[in-house]
Amino acid sequence: MNTDAREQTVNLGAGPSMLPTDVLLEASQGIIDYEGTGIGVTELSHRSSTFKNLLTQAENDLRALLDIPSDYAVLFLQGGGTEQFSATLLNMLAAHAAKHQGQGGAPPVDYVVSGAWSSKAYKEACRLYGPVRQVVDMRKNIRDASQPIPAPSAWNLSSVDENPAMLYYCDNETIDGSEFPQDFIHQLPEEYRQRVPIVADCSSNILSRPIDIRTHAVVYFGAQKNIGPSGVTIVVVRRDLVVDPDAVHTSYFPRIPTTLVYKNAVDNGSLYNTPPIFPIYVSGLVFKKLRKEGGVTRAQELAQAKSKLVYDMLEQHPSVFQANVAHAHFRSKMNLTFRILDANTGEPSDAEEARFVKLCEEHKVVQVKGHRSVGGIRLSLYNALTLEMAQKVVSLMQQFVKA
Ligand SMILES: Cc1ncc(COP(=O)(O)O)c(C=O)c1O
Protein backbone atom coordinates (compact mmCIF):
# COMPACT_ATOMS: atom_id res chain seq x y z
CA MET A 1 0.00 0.00 0.00
CA ASN A 2 1.33 3.44 -0.91
CA THR A 3 1.77 5.58 2.22
CA ASP A 4 4.11 8.20 0.71
CA ALA A 5 1.67 11.13 0.71
CA ARG A 6 0.53 10.22 4.18
CA GLU A 7 4.08 10.13 5.50
CA GLN A 8 4.71 13.65 4.22
CA THR A 9 1.56 15.02 5.86
CA VAL A 10 1.15 16.22 9.43
CA ASN A 11 -2.54 16.15 10.33
CA LEU A 12 -3.36 18.36 13.30
CA GLY A 13 -7.14 17.98 13.05
CA ALA A 14 -9.08 18.06 16.30
CA GLY A 15 -11.14 14.98 15.51
CA PRO A 16 -11.62 12.81 13.68
CA SER A 17 -7.88 12.98 13.81
CA MET A 18 -4.79 11.09 12.75
CA LEU A 19 -4.24 7.47 13.66
CA PRO A 20 -0.96 5.54 13.63
CA THR A 21 -0.10 4.34 10.12
CA ASP A 22 0.91 0.85 11.28
CA VAL A 23 -2.51 0.45 12.92
CA LEU A 24 -4.28 1.51 9.73
CA LEU A 25 -2.19 -0.85 7.62
CA GLU A 26 -3.08 -3.73 9.92
CA ALA A 27 -6.74 -2.65 9.85
CA SER A 28 -6.76 -2.49 6.06
CA GLN A 29 -5.71 -6.14 6.01
CA GLY A 30 -8.34 -6.90 8.68
CA ILE A 31 -11.06 -5.42 6.50
CA ILE A 32 -10.19 -7.89 3.76
CA ASP A 33 -9.49 -10.94 5.91
CA TYR A 34 -9.58 -10.81 9.69
CA GLU A 35 -6.80 -13.01 11.07
CA GLY A 36 -7.11 -15.69 8.41
CA THR A 37 -10.83 -16.29 8.98
CA GLY A 38 -11.56 -15.49 5.32
CA ILE A 39 -14.04 -12.86 6.52
CA GLY A 40 -13.34 -9.15 6.77
CA VAL A 41 -13.75 -7.61 10.21
CA THR A 42 -16.70 -5.47 9.11
CA GLU A 43 -18.44 -8.60 7.85
CA LEU A 44 -18.22 -10.51 11.13
CA SER A 45 -21.36 -11.20 13.09
CA HIS A 46 -21.29 -9.35 16.36
CA ARG A 47 -22.61 -12.56 17.94
CA SER A 48 -19.66 -14.59 16.67
CA SER A 49 -17.00 -15.80 19.09
CA THR A 50 -14.40 -14.12 16.84
CA PHE A 51 -15.91 -10.70 17.46
CA LYS A 52 -16.58 -11.38 21.13
CA ASN A 53 -12.91 -12.30 21.61
CA LEU A 54 -11.88 -9.10 19.83
CA LEU A 55 -14.15 -7.06 22.10
CA THR A 56 -12.90 -8.78 25.25
CA GLN A 57 -9.28 -8.19 24.26
CA ALA A 58 -9.98 -4.49 23.58
CA GLU A 59 -11.67 -4.16 26.97
CA ASN A 60 -8.85 -5.94 28.79
CA ASP A 61 -6.20 -3.78 27.16
CA LEU A 62 -8.13 -0.62 28.03
CA ARG A 63 -8.56 -1.82 31.61
CA ALA A 64 -4.81 -2.36 31.86
CA LEU A 65 -4.01 1.04 30.31
CA LEU A 66 -6.32 3.02 32.57
CA ASP A 67 -6.10 0.77 35.64
CA ILE A 68 -9.86 0.28 35.66
CA PRO A 69 -10.96 -1.65 38.78
CA SER A 70 -13.25 -4.67 38.44
CA ASP A 71 -16.13 -2.88 40.13
CA TYR A 72 -16.37 -0.66 37.04
CA ALA A 73 -18.03 -1.79 33.80
CA VAL A 74 -16.60 -0.80 30.41
CA LEU A 75 -19.21 -0.19 27.71
CA PHE A 76 -18.66 0.25 23.98
CA LEU A 77 -21.58 2.36 22.78
CA GLN A 78 -22.72 4.52 19.86
CA GLY A 79 -24.14 8.03 19.83
CA GLY A 80 -20.94 9.99 20.44
CA GLY A 81 -20.04 12.22 23.33
CA THR A 82 -23.19 14.19 22.55
CA GLU A 83 -25.43 11.28 23.43
CA GLN A 84 -23.61 10.93 26.74
CA PHE A 85 -24.68 14.48 27.63
CA SER A 86 -28.15 12.99 28.17
CA ALA A 87 -27.21 9.38 29.00
CA THR A 88 -24.98 10.33 31.94
CA LEU A 89 -27.67 12.58 33.41
CA LEU A 90 -30.54 10.11 32.99
CA ASN A 91 -28.61 7.11 34.29
CA MET A 92 -27.30 9.01 37.31
CA LEU A 93 -30.83 10.23 38.09
CA ALA A 94 -32.02 6.62 37.91
CA ALA A 95 -29.19 5.49 40.21
CA HIS A 96 -30.10 8.26 42.63
CA ALA A 97 -33.78 7.32 42.57
CA ALA A 98 -32.95 3.65 43.16
CA LYS A 99 -30.74 4.53 46.13
CA HIS A 100 -33.19 6.95 47.70
CA GLN A 101 -36.33 5.01 46.69
CA GLY A 102 -37.53 8.11 44.88
CA GLN A 103 -37.83 9.89 48.28
CA GLY A 104 -36.91 13.54 48.75
CA GLY A 105 -38.06 14.80 45.36
CA ALA A 106 -35.98 15.78 42.37
CA PRO A 107 -32.30 16.03 43.37
CA PRO A 108 -30.02 18.80 42.10
CA VAL A 109 -27.36 18.00 39.51
CA ASP A 110 -24.17 20.08 39.45
CA TYR A 111 -22.35 21.20 36.29
CA VAL A 112 -18.92 22.76 35.93
CA VAL A 113 -18.79 24.90 32.81
CA SER A 114 -15.24 25.39 31.56
CA GLY A 115 -15.70 25.66 27.79
CA ALA A 116 -17.83 24.84 24.77
CA TRP A 117 -18.38 21.12 25.43
CA SER A 118 -19.28 21.33 29.11
CA SER A 119 -21.54 24.25 28.22
CA LYS A 120 -23.33 22.04 25.69
CA ALA A 121 -23.69 19.26 28.25
CA TYR A 122 -25.10 21.76 30.75
CA LYS A 123 -27.60 23.08 28.20
CA GLU A 124 -28.73 19.56 27.37
CA ALA A 125 -29.25 18.85 31.07
CA CYS A 126 -31.38 22.02 31.34
CA ARG A 127 -33.47 20.83 28.36
CA LEU A 128 -34.16 17.49 30.00
CA TYR A 129 -34.39 18.26 33.69
CA GLY A 130 -35.30 20.97 36.16
CA PRO A 131 -32.89 21.39 39.08
CA VAL A 132 -29.65 21.80 37.15
CA ARG A 133 -27.04 23.97 38.85
CA GLN A 134 -24.11 25.60 37.11
CA VAL A 135 -21.62 25.55 39.98
CA VAL A 136 -19.05 27.67 38.18
CA ASP A 137 -18.55 29.20 34.74
CA MET A 138 -14.82 29.66 34.27
CA ARG A 139 -14.82 30.43 30.54
CA LYS A 140 -13.93 34.12 30.98
CA ASN A 141 -11.38 33.45 33.72
CA ILE A 142 -9.55 30.95 31.54
CA ARG A 143 -8.98 33.59 28.87
CA ASP A 144 -8.09 36.44 31.20
CA ALA A 145 -4.82 36.37 33.17
CA SER A 146 -6.12 39.00 35.59
CA GLN A 147 -9.01 36.79 36.71
CA PRO A 148 -7.96 33.82 38.85
CA ILE A 149 -9.65 30.53 38.10
CA PRO A 150 -11.94 29.56 40.98
CA ALA A 151 -10.65 26.49 42.80
CA PRO A 152 -13.11 23.66 43.50
CA SER A 153 -13.37 24.83 47.12
CA ALA A 154 -14.92 28.08 45.81
CA TRP A 155 -17.49 26.50 43.49
CA ASN A 156 -21.14 27.04 44.27
CA LEU A 157 -21.78 23.33 44.84
CA SER A 158 -25.09 21.92 45.98
CA SER A 159 -25.04 20.99 49.62
CA VAL A 160 -24.41 17.29 50.29
CA ASP A 161 -27.58 17.34 52.42
CA GLU A 162 -29.52 17.92 49.20
CA ASN A 163 -28.04 14.65 47.88
CA PRO A 164 -27.00 15.89 44.43
CA ALA A 165 -27.32 13.13 41.83
CA MET A 166 -24.03 14.01 40.12
CA LEU A 167 -21.29 16.52 39.37
CA TYR A 168 -20.38 16.83 35.68
CA TYR A 169 -17.21 18.27 34.15
CA CYS A 170 -15.21 18.12 30.93
CA ASP A 171 -11.54 17.28 31.54
CA ASN A 172 -10.24 18.75 28.30
CA GLU A 173 -12.08 21.41 26.33
CA THR A 174 -11.24 20.58 22.72
CA ILE A 175 -12.46 23.89 21.26
CA ASP A 176 -11.19 26.29 23.91
CA GLY A 177 -7.86 24.52 24.42
CA SER A 178 -8.05 24.23 28.20
CA GLU A 179 -7.45 21.19 30.38
CA PHE A 180 -8.03 20.72 34.08
CA PRO A 181 -4.91 20.44 36.22
CA GLN A 182 -4.63 16.79 37.14
CA ASP A 183 -5.47 17.04 40.82
CA PHE A 184 -8.39 19.45 40.40
CA ILE A 185 -11.10 16.97 41.27
CA HIS A 186 -9.19 15.86 44.36
CA GLN A 187 -9.55 19.43 45.63
CA LEU A 188 -13.31 19.09 45.99
CA PRO A 189 -14.52 19.09 49.59
CA GLU A 190 -13.90 15.59 50.96
CA GLU A 191 -17.51 14.82 51.92
CA TYR A 192 -18.85 16.03 48.56
CA ARG A 193 -16.29 13.93 46.68
CA GLN A 194 -17.20 10.85 48.69
CA ARG A 195 -20.95 11.21 48.31
CA VAL A 196 -21.65 12.75 44.93
CA PRO A 197 -21.13 10.70 41.74
CA ILE A 198 -18.60 12.52 39.57
CA VAL A 199 -18.95 12.30 35.79
CA ALA A 200 -16.09 13.26 33.45
CA ASP A 201 -16.06 13.81 29.70
CA CYS A 202 -12.51 12.81 28.71
CA SER A 203 -13.18 12.62 24.98
CA SER A 204 -10.16 14.62 23.94
CA ASN A 205 -7.49 13.73 26.50
CA ILE A 206 -8.09 10.12 27.50
CA LEU A 207 -4.94 7.99 27.39
CA SER A 208 -2.73 11.08 27.30
CA ARG A 209 -2.34 11.14 31.08
CA PRO A 210 -3.48 8.93 33.96
CA ILE A 211 -6.92 9.45 35.41
CA ASP A 212 -8.02 8.24 38.83
CA ILE A 213 -11.04 6.19 37.81
CA ARG A 214 -11.90 5.45 41.45
CA THR A 215 -12.67 9.12 42.12
CA HIS A 216 -15.32 9.00 39.39
CA ALA A 217 -18.73 7.44 38.90
CA VAL A 218 -18.54 7.70 35.11
CA VAL A 219 -15.67 8.48 32.76
CA TYR A 220 -16.63 8.59 29.11
CA PHE A 221 -14.90 9.37 25.85
CA GLY A 222 -15.59 9.29 22.13
CA ALA A 223 -12.92 7.42 20.18
CA GLN A 224 -12.15 9.86 17.41
CA LYS A 225 -9.26 11.74 19.02
CA ASN A 226 -6.79 9.55 20.88
CA ILE A 227 -8.29 6.15 20.18
CA GLY A 228 -9.78 5.25 16.82
CA PRO A 229 -12.33 6.11 14.14
CA SER A 230 -15.51 7.93 15.14
CA GLY A 231 -18.46 5.72 15.90
CA VAL A 232 -17.67 4.18 19.27
CA THR A 233 -18.04 5.93 22.61
CA ILE A 234 -16.60 4.23 25.65
CA VAL A 235 -18.27 4.57 29.04
CA VAL A 236 -16.57 3.42 32.22
CA VAL A 237 -19.20 3.28 34.96
CA ARG A 238 -19.17 2.14 38.59
CA ARG A 239 -21.29 -0.98 38.76
CA ASP A 240 -23.31 -0.01 41.86
CA LEU A 241 -24.70 2.93 39.86
CA VAL A 242 -25.99 0.72 37.06
CA VAL A 243 -29.69 0.23 37.76
CA ASP A 244 -32.88 -0.65 35.92
CA PRO A 245 -34.57 2.73 35.42
CA ASP A 246 -37.91 1.05 34.78
CA ALA A 247 -37.88 -0.41 38.28
CA VAL A 248 -37.82 3.01 39.91
CA HIS A 249 -40.85 5.24 39.72
CA THR A 250 -40.51 8.97 40.08
CA SER A 251 -42.38 11.81 38.56
CA TYR A 252 -39.34 13.98 37.85
CA PHE A 253 -37.57 12.24 35.00
CA PRO A 254 -38.83 10.52 31.89
CA ARG A 255 -38.48 6.95 30.64
CA ILE A 256 -34.99 6.43 29.23
CA PRO A 257 -34.65 5.15 25.63
CA THR A 258 -33.37 1.57 25.79
CA THR A 259 -30.12 2.27 23.93
CA LEU A 260 -29.22 4.89 26.55
CA VAL A 261 -29.76 2.62 29.54
CA TYR A 262 -26.36 1.56 30.87
CA LYS A 263 -27.87 -1.57 32.44
CA ASN A 264 -28.90 -2.88 29.02
CA ALA A 265 -25.33 -2.47 27.77
CA VAL A 266 -23.85 -4.02 30.94
CA ASP A 267 -26.22 -7.00 30.95
CA ASN A 268 -25.51 -7.67 27.28
CA GLY A 269 -21.76 -7.11 27.25
CA SER A 270 -22.14 -4.01 24.99
CA LEU A 271 -24.13 -6.16 22.52
CA TYR A 272 -27.66 -5.01 23.31
CA ASN A 273 -27.86 -4.01 19.66
CA THR A 274 -25.33 -4.14 16.81
CA PRO A 275 -22.15 -2.43 17.99
CA PRO A 276 -19.84 -0.27 15.84
CA ILE A 277 -17.58 -3.16 14.89
CA PHE A 278 -14.93 -1.37 12.86
CA PRO A 279 -14.24 1.48 15.31
CA ILE A 280 -14.03 -1.06 18.14
CA TYR A 281 -11.58 -3.15 16.13
CA VAL A 282 -9.28 -0.22 15.36
CA SER A 283 -9.53 1.05 18.94
CA GLY A 284 -8.39 -2.37 20.09
CA LEU A 285 -5.36 -2.18 17.81
CA VAL A 286 -4.50 1.25 19.22
CA PHE A 287 -4.79 -0.06 22.80
CA LYS A 288 -2.51 -2.99 21.98
CA LYS A 289 0.07 -0.69 20.39
CA LEU A 290 -0.02 1.77 23.29
CA ARG A 291 0.49 -1.01 25.83
CA LYS A 292 3.48 -2.24 23.86
CA GLU A 293 4.95 1.25 23.62
CA GLY A 294 4.94 2.22 27.28
CA GLY A 295 1.26 2.84 28.03
CA VAL A 296 -0.22 6.03 29.41
CA THR A 297 2.98 6.95 31.23
CA ARG A 298 4.86 7.15 27.95
CA ALA A 299 1.97 8.91 26.22
CA GLN A 300 1.99 11.53 28.96
CA GLU A 301 5.74 12.12 28.63
CA LEU A 302 5.31 12.59 24.89
CA ALA A 303 2.30 14.88 25.30
CA GLN A 304 4.29 17.03 27.72
CA ALA A 305 7.31 17.18 25.41
CA LYS A 306 5.28 17.99 22.27
CA SER A 307 3.09 20.64 23.86
CA LYS A 308 6.07 22.27 25.59
CA LEU A 309 7.69 22.89 22.20
CA VAL A 310 4.66 24.87 21.05
CA TYR A 311 3.95 26.70 24.31
CA ASP A 312 7.61 27.72 24.59
CA MET A 313 7.32 29.28 21.13
CA LEU A 314 4.24 31.23 22.23
CA GLU A 315 6.02 32.47 25.36
CA GLN A 316 9.15 33.45 23.44
CA HIS A 317 7.23 35.51 20.88
CA PRO A 318 4.50 37.42 22.73
CA SER A 319 4.35 40.08 20.02
CA VAL A 320 3.42 37.44 17.43
CA PHE A 321 1.44 34.79 19.29
CA GLN A 322 -1.13 34.98 22.07
CA ALA A 323 -2.30 31.82 23.83
CA ASN A 324 -6.08 31.69 24.17
CA VAL A 325 -5.73 30.17 27.62
CA ALA A 326 -4.10 32.83 29.73
CA HIS A 327 -3.35 30.59 32.73
CA ALA A 328 -0.42 28.34 31.85
CA HIS A 329 -1.45 25.54 34.25
CA PHE A 330 -4.82 25.31 32.45
CA ARG A 331 -3.41 24.91 28.95
CA SER A 332 -4.30 21.72 27.15
CA LYS A 333 -1.57 19.34 26.07
CA MET A 334 -3.88 18.00 23.38
CA ASN A 335 -5.52 21.05 21.75
CA LEU A 336 -3.25 24.10 21.72
CA THR A 337 -5.15 27.23 20.77
CA PHE A 338 -3.73 30.68 20.08
CA ARG A 339 -4.17 33.85 18.07
CA ILE A 340 -1.65 35.50 15.77
CA LEU A 341 -1.24 39.23 16.26
CA ASP A 342 -0.94 42.04 13.77
CA ALA A 343 2.56 43.55 14.13
CA ASN A 344 1.19 47.13 13.97
CA THR A 345 -1.91 46.95 16.11
CA GLY A 346 -0.97 44.07 18.42
CA GLU A 347 -4.52 42.76 17.92
CA PRO A 348 -5.47 39.24 16.76
CA SER A 349 -5.44 39.24 13.00
CA ASP A 350 -7.46 36.95 10.70
CA ALA A 351 -5.11 37.93 7.88
CA GLU A 352 -1.97 36.85 9.79
CA GLU A 353 -3.67 33.61 10.76
CA ALA A 354 -4.61 32.96 7.15
CA ARG A 355 -0.94 33.51 6.25
CA PHE A 356 0.14 30.97 8.85
CA VAL A 357 -2.45 28.43 7.68
CA LYS A 358 -1.18 28.88 4.12
CA LEU A 359 2.45 28.41 5.16
CA CYS A 360 1.49 25.22 6.99
CA GLU A 361 -0.45 23.89 4.03
CA GLU A 362 2.50 24.55 1.72
CA HIS A 363 4.48 22.22 3.98
CA LYS A 364 1.69 19.67 4.23
CA VAL A 365 0.84 20.56 7.81
CA VAL A 366 -2.95 20.52 7.69
CA GLN A 367 -6.07 21.27 9.74
CA VAL A 368 -4.50 23.97 11.90
CA LYS A 369 -7.42 26.42 11.81
CA GLY A 370 -9.20 27.04 15.11
CA HIS A 371 -12.79 25.94 15.60
CA ARG A 372 -15.18 28.22 13.70
CA SER A 373 -16.69 29.47 16.98
CA VAL A 374 -13.40 30.86 18.34
CA GLY A 375 -11.22 31.40 15.26
CA GLY A 376 -7.44 31.58 15.56
CA ILE A 377 -5.20 28.55 15.36
CA ARG A 378 -5.63 25.15 16.98
CA LEU A 379 -2.91 22.53 16.91
CA SER A 380 -4.17 19.16 18.09
CA LEU A 381 -1.25 17.06 19.27
CA TYR A 382 -2.94 13.76 19.98
CA ASN A 383 -1.10 10.55 20.86
CA ALA A 384 -0.62 9.46 17.24
CA LEU A 385 1.35 12.62 16.44
CA THR A 386 5.08 11.97 16.84
CA LEU A 387 7.64 14.25 18.46
CA GLU A 388 9.24 14.74 15.03
CA MET A 389 5.92 15.97 13.63
CA ALA A 390 5.57 18.44 16.50
CA GLN A 391 9.11 19.64 15.80
CA LYS A 392 8.18 20.24 12.16
CA VAL A 393 5.20 22.35 13.25
CA VAL A 394 7.35 24.40 15.60
CA SER A 395 9.95 24.98 12.91
CA LEU A 396 7.15 26.44 10.75
CA MET A 397 6.14 28.71 13.61
CA GLN A 398 9.77 29.81 13.82
CA GLN A 399 9.86 30.43 10.08
CA PHE A 400 6.65 32.46 10.36
CA VAL A 401 8.13 34.61 13.13
CA LYS A 402 11.27 35.32 11.11
CA ALA A 403 9.26 36.25 8.02
C1 LIG B 1 -14.70 17.06 24.76
C2 LIG B 1 -15.77 16.65 23.79
N3 LIG B 1 -16.94 16.19 24.26
C4 LIG B 1 -17.93 15.82 23.44
C5 LIG B 1 -17.79 15.88 22.08
C6 LIG B 1 -18.92 15.46 21.19
O7 LIG B 1 -18.58 14.28 20.54
P8 LIG B 1 -19.44 13.73 19.32
O9 LIG B 1 -19.29 14.67 18.18
O10 LIG B 1 -18.84 12.38 19.05
O11 LIG B 1 -20.85 13.63 19.79
C12 LIG B 1 -16.57 16.34 21.53
C13 LIG B 1 -16.39 16.41 20.07
O14 LIG B 1 -15.40 16.83 19.55
C15 LIG B 1 -15.55 16.73 22.41
O16 LIG B 1 -14.38 17.19 21.96
Name the residue at shortest CA distance from atom 6 of ligand 1: 81
Task: Classify the C-alpha dihedral 189-193-199-204 as positive or negative.
Answer: positive
Alpha-carbon dihedral angle through residues 23, 28, 31, 35, given to the nearest 10 degrees: -60
**What DSSP element (H or E) covers 134?**
strand 132-137
Q: What is the pLDDT of residue 251?
A: 85
Ligand 1 atom closest to Cα of residue 175 = 16
Q: Where are the domains of the chain?
A: 49-290, 295-402
Give residue-wise pLDDT tens across range 204-254: 999 999 999 999 999 999 999 999 999 999 999 999 999 999 998 788 878
For domain 49-290, say whether CATH 3.40.50.150 is its number. no
Q: Which CATH number fits domain 295-402: 3.90.1300.10, 3.90.1150.10, 3.40.1010.10, 1.10.645.10?
A: 3.90.1150.10
Ligand 1 atom closest to Cα of residue 170 = 1
Region for 75 from its dihedrals, namely left if φ exceeds 0, alpha if ψ lies in -120 to 50, beta otherwise: beta
Q: What is the pLDDT of residue 277?
A: 98
Distance (Å) from CA 251 to ligand 1 centroid: 31
* Ligand 1 touching residue 81 (CB < 6 A): yes
Buried b (16+ CB within 10 A) or exposed e, 301-323: ebbeebbebbbebbeebeebbbb
Asked if 165 contacts 107 with a C-beta cutoff of 8 angstroms, the reply is: yes
- Phi, psi angles (nearest 5°) of residue 126: -65, -35
Question: CB-based contacts of 354: which residues, under 8 Å, 6+ apart?
Answer: none
Angle at 236 between CA 268 and CA 93, to 5 degrees: 85
For residue 260, the 8-state DSSP code is G
Q: Which of 86, 117, 179 to mutate to test the pocket of ligand 1 (most atoms within 8 A of CB)?
A: 117
Please name which of 91, 163, 173, 167 lies closest in space to residue 135, comparing C-alpha atoms.
167
Beta strands 233-238 and 72-77 are antiparallel
Alpha-carbon dihedral angle through residues 34, 38, 42, 45, given to the nearest 10 degrees: -110
Per-residue pLDDT of the chain (403 residues; tens, 9 = 90+): 999 999 999 999 999 999 999 999 999 999 999 999 999 999 999 999 999 999 999 999 999 999 999 999 999 999 999 999 999 999 999 999 999 887 888 999 999 999 999 999 999 999 999 999 999 999 999 999 999 999 999 999 999 999 999 999 999 999 999 999 999 999 999 999 999 999 999 999 999 999 999 999 999 999 999 999 999 999 999 999 999 999 987 888 788 999 999 999 999 999 999 999 999 999 999 999 999 999 999 999 999 999 999 999 999 999 999 999 999 999 999 999 999 999 999 999 999 999 999 999 999 999 999 999 999 999 999 999 999 999 999 999 999 999 8
- Phi, psi angles (nearest 5°) of residue 391: -65, -35
Please name which of 106, 127, 95 lies closest in space to residue 261, comparing C-alpha atoms.
95
